[in-house]
Amino acid sequence: MTIELKKEDILEISPTFRFQWEEMQNCYVVLYPEGMVKLSQSAGEIMKRIDGNKSIIDMIDDISTAFNGADVEKDVLKFLEVAYGNGWIRTK
């Protein structure tokens, strides 16, 4: 991708992808035409916070709080770049 994400960016799930919890797989998944990607637990924690309102900074704070103040910034940014590169998410 040529455009890079900035920490102030507000993210949303792209309308051409669907993100949902799959009971039988016991994980979050991303669905697209004729395909599915299973997400790891940490990827699921990040994706479920993408709601079209929160900025990346807000998300990092939120996840850090949820996990006892852990330093999650690097991991979150790394995953968001992958998700963005795959077109699962876009900036608002």
Partner 1 sequence: MATVGLEQNNQTKPLWLLAELTYRCPLQCPYCSNPVEMSKYKKELTTEDWFRVMQQARKMGATQLGFSGGEPLVRKDLEDLIKEARRLGFYTNLITSGVGMDEARIVAFKEAGLDHIQISFQASNEELNNYIGKSKSFQHKYEMARLVKKYEYPMVLNIVLHRKNVDQIKDILDMTVDLNADYVELASTQYYGWSRINIEQLLPTREQLKNAELVAREYQEKMKDKMKVIYVIPDYFENRPKKCMNGWGNIFLTIAPDGSALPCHAAGQLPGLEFPNVTDHNLEWIWNESPDFNKFRGTSWMKEPCKSCDEKHKDLGGCRCQAYMLTGDATNADPVCGKSEFHEELHSDVDRIGKLAGDEKFEAKPLVFRNMKNSKNFTAKKTPETV
How big is the site for partner 1, counted in residues (CB under 8 A)?
A: 19
CB of 87 to partner 1, least distance (A): 8
Separation of alpha carbons 77 and 57, rounded Å: 10
Asked if 46 contacts 59 with a C-beta cutoff of 8 angstroms, the reply is yes
CB of 38 to partner 1, least distance (A): 10
One of 7, 9, 11, 18 touching partner 1 (CB under 8 A): 18
Separation of alpha carbons 81 and 77, rounded Å: 6
Residues that bind partner 1 in the complex, under the rule CB under 8 A: 1-2, 15-18, 20, 22-26, 29, 31-36
